[in-house]
């Protein structure tokens, strides 16, 4: 594992990122934006292209998330009128369907939001794309020159129409657009439901810019909402509304090469289009679609009342990937994953790694469901293709998990979570990877959760939460001269309080010159995803960190319900991910829930 060792002090409040600003970029192919001078505050000037100042909630949220990123300035809003589409004659089932869906107003993500006040001070440019025969070229040369004068670094395009021509040269980081790669050009989220696809893919796509090549910024698959095409679209778009802001943060920290994963085609390599561009469904297709929707709705209610679903206990497994940590952070790695699954009645979680010689040792929590108790086990591999069976190496009368292992002075130590003992203890291996014996009590009377011990510069540090004081909300910091102690509490403890978002999620690691701390995000579900925080100040008197990005499970994984530990080894990244076990529904509870929902929808409750 790559440890945080002797490195430059991390006390800088603002980090200058080469390429974050591009005021002198000429728009010519191959031109390189000059790096900001040392000490300058990194900034990105953003533009937004949209069809009005009143937008669907998910688009308004995407803009608001961008405005909240420190170092990003919303410098221009480009308003483009929606192209005029002939109404046509006769019955249009698609038009009727969309009107009914809009009238029902069942999708909060599509509710209109007026941004007039929020962007009142932002310059605006109105372009007339309503009568243009080619919506992709809805910008005149005069419009393009006006946009270029605002010296934007990137432009977020919230229209469905693609951007072409001179607009591709107005910003060095290009035009960012949301696209459904499998059904390009069709109604968002519709064809996945029509064709019965289990997953709906979406990409944030970059076109143009100083590299003059298409790139996939972020890509994800979402479970298709089979009983509502409007619900499917709302679910996918709302789930991705944070992508532009996450991308901007990474650009500010110098991750441009990882963010812009190059593609030879305008869509993600892993999600090629299955047919020529799709358009509006015909009346015959809509008749088929409405029939399928009726069937899917009936099947959903039947399953809710009498079937089974993934709503049982968490089932964790270990994932191993060769993708570099920079690609993991950027969220666009397509490297394969090897899964290590526990035998029936058990699960594996909380992986930590030690490499000695040619052998890698993966220490995990081995949880036995019948005993409701965890032990520390080790899995060995020489090539990451074949693995030994898990062997228990540390067992106590109480629950053990989160085996934080590390090396110091050629000795192997482990600080596991054992909050039920009421203390944080350190163990040493007398015969590595076995023979663990207790060497010291690091924190007496402190039921520590996920204690994470690491060395930075000339000190040892410990991040930990307290089981007796909301262990997902308050973060504590301790320091010592040696891992055996004595340990001193940081005088600002708890050093950070944030509802459900501070609990440690693995060893801090260095990437691109940044010291990064992974933390669990349990705001939606326990172990839902991992937040990454850049530590900007770590001293005996001060601690500060700032949000950097997230690591989320992918829906195409067999374990896609969450993840809560990640560690960086020499050649691989290891993490845990979970699924929910299948359980049979309670008819009485499900019927009561459906009745309550129906009454609320009718305004009777």
Give me the residue spans of the domains in the chain: 44-281, 310-584
For the domain made up of 310-584, the CATH class stated in words is: mainly beta
Mean pLDDT, the chain, rounded, equals 84
Q: What span, in angstroms and rounded, lies between the C-alpha atoms of 158 and 156?
A: 6
400 with 374: CB under 8 angstroms?
Answer: yes
- Can you read off the two tokens belonging to residue 303? 């399953």
In 3D space, the residue among 423, 226, 272, 257 whose CA is nearest the CA of residue 324 turns out to be 257
Q: What is the pLDDT of residues 13-55, one digit of tens each?
A: 222 232 333 333 333 322 223 333 333 355 899 999 999 999 9
388 with 381: CB under 8 angstroms?
Answer: yes
Q: What is the largest CA-CA distance in the chain?
A: 83
195 with 180: CB under 8 angstroms?
Answer: no
Mean pLDDT value across residues 383-388: 94
Please, which residues have CB within 8 angstroms of residue 479's CB and are 6 or more apart in sequence?
459, 460, 461, 462, 487, 488, 490, 540
47 with 152: CB under 8 angstroms?
Answer: yes
Q: What is the pLDDT of residues 501-535, one digit of tens each?
A: 899 999 999 998 899 999 999 988 999 999 999 99
The band of 9, judged by pLDDT with boundaries at 50, 70 and 90, is: very low
| CATH architecture observed for domain 44-281 | 3-Layer(aba) Sandwich (3.40)
Q: For residue 356, what is the DSSP state?
A: E
Question: What's the gap between Cα 151 and its chain centre?
Answer: 29
- Can you read off the two tokens belonging to residue 177? 């657009």
Q: What is the pLDDT of residues 279-304, one digit of tens each?
A: 889 999 999 999 999 998 898 888 87
* Cβ-based neighbour number of residue 396 at 10 Å: 18
The band of 309, judged by pLDDT with boundaries at 50, 70 and 90, is: low
Residues 70, 15, 252, CA angle at the centre, nearest 5°? Answer: 50
């Amino acid at each position: 594992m790559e440890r945080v060792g002797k490195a430059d002090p991390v006390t800088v409040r603002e980090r200058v990122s080469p390429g974050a600003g591009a005021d002198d970029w000429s728009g010519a192919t191959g031109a390189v934006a000059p790096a900001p001078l040392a000490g300058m505050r990194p900034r990105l000037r953003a533009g937004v292209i949209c069809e009005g100042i009143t937008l669907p909630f998910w688009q308004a949220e995407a803009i608001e998330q961008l405005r909240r990123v420190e170092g990003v300035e919303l410098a221009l809003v480009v308003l483009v009128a929606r192209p005029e589409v002939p109404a046509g004659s006769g019955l249009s089932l698609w038009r009727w369907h969309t009107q009914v869906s809009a009238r029902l107003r069942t999708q909060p993500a599509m509710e209109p939001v007026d941004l007039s006040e929020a962007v009142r001070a932002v310059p605006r440019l109105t372009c007339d794309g309503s009568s243009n025969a080619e919506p992709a070229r809805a910008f005149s040369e005069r419009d393009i020159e006006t946009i270029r004068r605002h010296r934007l670094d990137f432009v977020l395009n919230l229209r469905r129409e693609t951007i072409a021509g001179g607009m591709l040269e107005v910003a060095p980081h290009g035009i960012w657009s949301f696209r459904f790669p499998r059904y390009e050009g069709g109604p968002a989220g519709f064809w996945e439901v029509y064709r019965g696809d289990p997953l709906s893919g979406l990409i944030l796509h970059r076109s143009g810019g100083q590299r003059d090549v298409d790139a996939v910024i972020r890509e994800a698959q979402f479970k298709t909402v089979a009983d509502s095409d409007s619900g499917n679209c709302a679910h996918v778009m709302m789930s991705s509304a944070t992508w532009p802001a996450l991308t901007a943060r990474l650009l500010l920290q110098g991750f441009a090469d990882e963010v812009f994963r190059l593609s030879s085609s305008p869509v993600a390599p892993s999600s090629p289009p299955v047919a020529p561009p799709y358009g509006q469904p015909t009346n015959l297709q809509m008749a088929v679609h409405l029939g399928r929707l009726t069937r899917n709705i009936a099947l959903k209610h039947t399953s809710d009342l009498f079937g089974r679903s993934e709503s049982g206990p968490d089932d964790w497994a270990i994932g191993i990937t060769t993708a570099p940590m920079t690609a993991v952070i950027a969220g666009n790695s397509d490297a394969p994953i090897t899964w290590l699954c526990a035998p029936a009645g058990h699960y594996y979680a909380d992986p930590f790694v030690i490499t000695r010689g040619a052998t890698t040792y993966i220490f995990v929590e081995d949880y036995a469901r019948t005993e409701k108790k965890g032990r520390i086990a080790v899995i060995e591999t020489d090539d990451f293709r074949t693995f030994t069976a898990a062997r228990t190496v540390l067992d106590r009368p109480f629950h053990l998990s989160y085996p934080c292992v590390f090396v110091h002075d050629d000795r192997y130590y482990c600080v596991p979570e054992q909050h039920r003992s009421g203390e944080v203890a350190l163990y040493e291996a007398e015969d590595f990877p076995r023979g663990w014996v207790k060497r010291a009590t690091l924190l007496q009377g402190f039921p520590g959760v996920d204690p994470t011990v690491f060395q930075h510069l000339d000190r040892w540090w410990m991040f930990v939460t307290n089981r007796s004081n909301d262990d997902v909300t308050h973060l504590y910091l301790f320091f010592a001269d040696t891992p055996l102690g004595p340990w001193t509490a940081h005088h600002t403890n708890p050093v950070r309080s944030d509802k459900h978002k501070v609990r440690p999620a693995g060893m801090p690691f260095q990437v691109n010159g940044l010291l990064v701390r992974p933390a669990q995000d349990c705001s939606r579900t326990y172990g839902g995803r991992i937040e990454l925080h850049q530590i900007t100040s770590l001293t005996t008197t001060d601690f500060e960190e700032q949000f950097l990005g997230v690591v989320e499970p992918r829906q195409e994984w067999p374990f896609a319900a969450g993840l809560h530990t990640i560690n960086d080894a020499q050649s691989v990244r290891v993490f845990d991910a979970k699924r929910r076990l299948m359980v049979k529904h309670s008819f009485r509870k499900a019927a009561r829930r459906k009745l309550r929902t129906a009454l609320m929808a009718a305004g009777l409750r």
